[in-house]
Structure 1
Amino acid sequence: MTLATDFEPVFKDFLINSATHDLAHDMSHIKRVVSTAKMLAKQEQADLWVIIPAAYLHDCFTYPKNHAERHLSSQLAADKALQFLISIDYPAHTYQAIYHAIAAHSFSADIVPTSLEAQIIQDADRLDSLGAIGIARCIQVSSSFEGQLYSDNDPFAEKRELDDHRYAIDHFFTKLFKLPKTMNTKAGQKEANKRVIFMRQYLNQLRQEIL
């Protein structure tokens, strides 16, 4: 009996050979999203025939974070993923659900996930912006923009406006700390809150070291 997991080596080969990723959406990110999506799917009893390909292929096309058409990335990824799934004869009854899950995962796309599977893929992707790995990714992306870790004069924006284009730490407040409230599933919200606690502990430690 064929299982959705049997296709994982094919998905990995496809990504290695054809996908183009920025620093924040490399293979390590994809592997983490797949792992998290499986965990959420188990808790929420979702369809792995949709979850597994959507998690692997959700970033098979991405524009850089600062690209003018960044908001179109997930829909272009969904188009590319569907063409690939057709080429490998993946079960056709899953196509629409996978397409929607990929298109709706992106924060910038602003597409409401209407299925449990799409909600899980969105949660799994957003969870990778939180916790220890979220801190590392935030700094990594900010560095690619030549941004600083924090403002020397006002590290935590207590007397200035937030500017996450210039300072990595500001992004915690402009976006990342708001993500738990956007989680679709109970399992996703629980994990998000746990990761945010760690991030706040990091900021407390940073405050002690720099002030």
Structure 2
Amino acid sequence: MTNLTNIVEILAKQALGGQQQSQQGGLGGILGSVLGGLGGSQQQSQQAGLGGVLGSVLGGLTGGQQQQAPQTRQSGLNAQSLLIAVVPLVLAWIQKNGGLQGALDQLKGQGLSSQVDDWVSTGEGANASVNQQQVQNLFDQNEVEQVAQQTQVPTQDVYSAISSVLPEIIDSLTPQAEQTDPKEANDDIQNVLNLVSGFLKR
């Protein structure tokens, strides 16, 4: 079992400001609270707030070409919410690159071998950082701009969020370092994407 759901749960709790309803159980409940609570309850459109962000990201990455209505929210998401908003983008990027092993190879091909080795290792200490420029070379600019538009933040903020989340996700997907089962990691990625997608369809 990888730690992917743990990192998503931590980010989701931060996005909720630590207030977690006791009746909400586990990661599903927390994500549901984030998706339901962000973007303003006065906006009933299913494309509102974080739900809309995640929906458009997931839709765009799974080939759905639905047109998004322009957002009318006054302000962008807070930092923690933006981190959650880019999680599906990062997970879908890993899938598109052939799963965990393919994504690691892609990162190493971009000159990030030392960072990848640090993220995968089980050593103590913070994960090595990656700069926005390196992230820009990896992610589809149109998808990033779509998230920026939906969240009403500058594109650079989205790249910054990706560079914060990417090391944590790779770390959480490799709890046994090189011995981690890639199939298990890929199954967990799919489970989290399904969970997010399930809440967006409600």
TM-score normalised according to structure 1 size: 0.33
Structure having greater relative contact order (Cα 8 Å, sep ≥ 6):
2
Give the number of the structure whose alpha-carbon radius of gyration is greater: 1
